[in-house]
């Protein structure tokens, strides 16, 4: 039986997304407002309960949007999702993730000077 290496173990370990989100000072309501993803789906993502999500391309889209909202690496979250669900990424999804790196939007509003 092959030995389990550290990289594979990391993919199987659910990231504590709620703690990461809280440490960044982002609320679920802010994510709901910016992404229009329902609270039910956001909580499912945080809990790793992917069966609650609508399926198909919606799942990967929701995961990407969530990752961007909390400034978390999309590819790490998607790798966990694929490992947890036993699915494989589509070729188009892999290239889309690579093209989006570094394009995260901030939830913080711009600061305007008040006079």
In this structure, is residue 27 part of a structural domain? yes
What confidence score (pLDDT) does residue 90 get? 74
What CATH number is given to the structural domain containing 53?
Answer: 1.10.260.40
In this structure, is residue 109 part of a structural domain? no
Token couple for 3: 């030995």
Q: How far is CA 48 from CA 45, 59, 100, in A?
A: 5, 12, 23
pTM of the model: 0.71
Task: Give the number of domains in the chain.
Answer: 1
- What residues make up the domain containing 77? 10-92
Full pLDDT tens readout for the chain, 115 residues: 444 444 444 456 889 999 999 999 999 999 999 999 999 999 999 999 999 999 989 999 999 999 999 999 999 999 999 999 998 887 755 555 455 554 445 555 555 555 5
Token couple for 103: 């394009």
In this structure, is residue 51 part of a structural domain? yes
Task: Report the candidate in 110, 18, 109 with the shortest Cα–Cα distance to residue 70.
Answer: 18
- In this structure, the dihedral spanned by the alpha carbons of residues 4, 45, 16 and 104, taken in order and rounded to 10 degrees, is 100
What confidence score (pLDDT) does residue 14 get? 86
């Amino acid at each position: 039986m092959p030995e389990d290496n550290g990289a594979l173990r990391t993919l199987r370990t659910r990231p504590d997304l709620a703690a990461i989100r809280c440490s960044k000072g982002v609320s679920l309501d802010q994510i709901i407002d910016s992404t229009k993803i329902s609270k039910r789906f956001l909580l499912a993502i945080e809990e790793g309960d992917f069966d609650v999500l609508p399926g198909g391309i919606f799942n990967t889209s929701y995961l990407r949007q969530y990752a961007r909202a909390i400034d978390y690496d999309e590819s790490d979250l998607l790798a966990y999702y694929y490992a947890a669900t036993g699915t494989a990424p589509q070729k188009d999804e892999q290239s889309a993730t690579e093209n989006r790196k570094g394009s995260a939007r901030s939830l913080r509003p711009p600061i305007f000077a008040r006079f």
